[in-house]
Structure 1
């Protein structure tokens, strides 16, 4: 079932959506997450051709190849992991000038890779895409790390590994710095655990990037744009139940009842946790009534006033619109919704 409601307005948007659908189906096995992120970015930057941005990625790769060759030295010995980390620092934040945007962190452009390349500023996960793309093209062993609140990178070579912070000039973080970073996001009692080093595949990274855009749209009260972002996420992650749940909730709040119902039905098909099913079935029944023009009767009213009603009924349209504009605080680098 496909309910994506992104309506292309230009040929470039149509082309980008077709590319992303093909990418999700595995038709571009050599494409990197950075290339996919540029196609996502082009959906909002309709006046820009993607080709120059792909060329900028190629420039970074060419410069990194030269820097790695220099690190190898005249003897041609394979560089150690710290040599490779330094080569990345010289090229991406050094020569090309990419840095984290600490002054305007919540600017949506920090999560749009076209704007990141133009401004040379961005969020950790957006900047990480540049490192990962260059590392892949240059044959380096680099992995995204879904660290709490702050996306990191792991670089490996010759049995050694280091963690790199793409937001802060590609610096290498030791245990002390990682512990300090974790406590900044999770409190002074937090301690490093194995789950904090969870690897992130390309889809997870792209979803985390898009989630940053969605969260900022919700903070500004733009539910329609947040819904559009969710629908774009579903192009590459149609099997993620949580995304369908979010899409259903936002569509319902926008009075898109048929799309909300379709999304909730998709959620029920994908999520097998019975704890959620009763509540979502109740929402789906309410939506069916609303679509059919059936008003809640006294029986429904009695059900809503029962002790368990709070667990099964969600008010789709809060009486105070301002409630949409004050979502709960988020961590600086919002994690993937998946």
Structure 2
């Protein structure tokens, strides 16, 4: 069957601007690594269907809060998208096809669905790479409205945002300027890289080195000089017995970060690899 919805080519993504990257299609590209037979056209059409179902409700002359309420009620109550509180660390929560099929996700994957649907309805919803828990934001007349897609898209107050950010700032509550900086819109590249980092972290915890290497490799397709991705791909290659690739990645990591905190550990790994301490593939 002819692919009626071709996805981007990994090898071209680094050349695109941060927001030129197609968010939905690249998220589906990430999922296709795990699900080679993924029906990209079907999932893109499903998002279109959500927007089409909402459009008649929003054509009436209703204000912004009412529009958001209608969108959130549809996505999180009628369709049933929800945060996966029971199995938060399940990698399926990060693959968009699984999120659509199971109606379960983590903050960032639910945010991508909410953003893609809302943007199709002419509302400029952006992601927020908030520490610990991804959020979305919408410009309003007197500032910005911040929403939590993991909790049915409910608005988050400035006081709650400060409280959430505080543990990530050494216990200090951010002032207005700091909070605005934290709430800056996340580019598509930032969103996709955060999705891949989430997956890489999950697979690192499991010792699934092939998927660690794959996730790190995809990060490098988006941003070729991402030091931590080079390190993690190199360490994964070492575990997989691919000594040449491990040496190249770890050496490049030390070039990029000559004063890295894990400098001694990486140097030791390189010495072991150089002396034949890794299996050769």
* TM-score bracket relative to the smaller structure: 0.7 to 0.9
Distance 1:235 1:274 in 2: 22
- Given the alignment, which residue of 40, 52, 62 partners 2:30? 40
Secondary structure in 2 matching 1:144: strand
Number of residue equivalences: 271
2:59 maps to 1:69: yes
Contact kept, 8 Å, 1:112 with 1:126, in 2: the verdict is yes
Unaligned runs of 5+ in 2: none
User: Which aligned pairs between 1:62-141 and structure 2 lie closer than 5 A?
Assistant: 62-70=52-60, 72-73=61-62, 79-80=63-64, 82-141=65-124
CA distance in structure 1 between the aligned counterparts of 2:139 and 2:32, rounded to whole angstroms = 32
Paired with 1:251 and 1:64, the residues of 2 have a C-alpha distance of 47
Task: Give the alignment partner of residue 275 of structure 1, picking from 259, 262, 273.
Answer: 259
Q: 1:191 aligns with which of 145, 158, 173?
A: 173
Structure 1 vs Structure 2 CA RMSD = 3.2
Structure 1 residue 40, shift from structure 2 partner: 1.0
Q: 1:134 to 1:21 in 2, by over 3 A?
A: farther
| Counterpart residue number, 1:263 | 249
SS at structure 2 position matched to 1:239: coil
Contact 1:214 1:229 in 2 (8 A): yes
Which of 249, 274, 281 aligns to 1:289? It is 274
CA contact (8 A) 1:32 1:133 kept: no
TM-score (norm 2): 0.82
Please say if residues 251 and 270 of structure 2, whose CA atoms lie closer than 8 Å, have aligned partners that are also in contact: no
**Matches of 1:228 and 1:253 in 2, distance apart?**
13
Larger radius of gyration: 1
1:214 aligns with 2:204: no
Instruction: Using the TM superposition, name which of 60-69 and 165-174 deviates more.
Output: 60-69
| Contact 1:64/1:134 (8 A) holds in 2 | no
Task: Please report how far the alpha carbon of residue 283 of structure 1 lies from its aligned counterpart in structure 2 after TM superposition.
Answer: 5.1
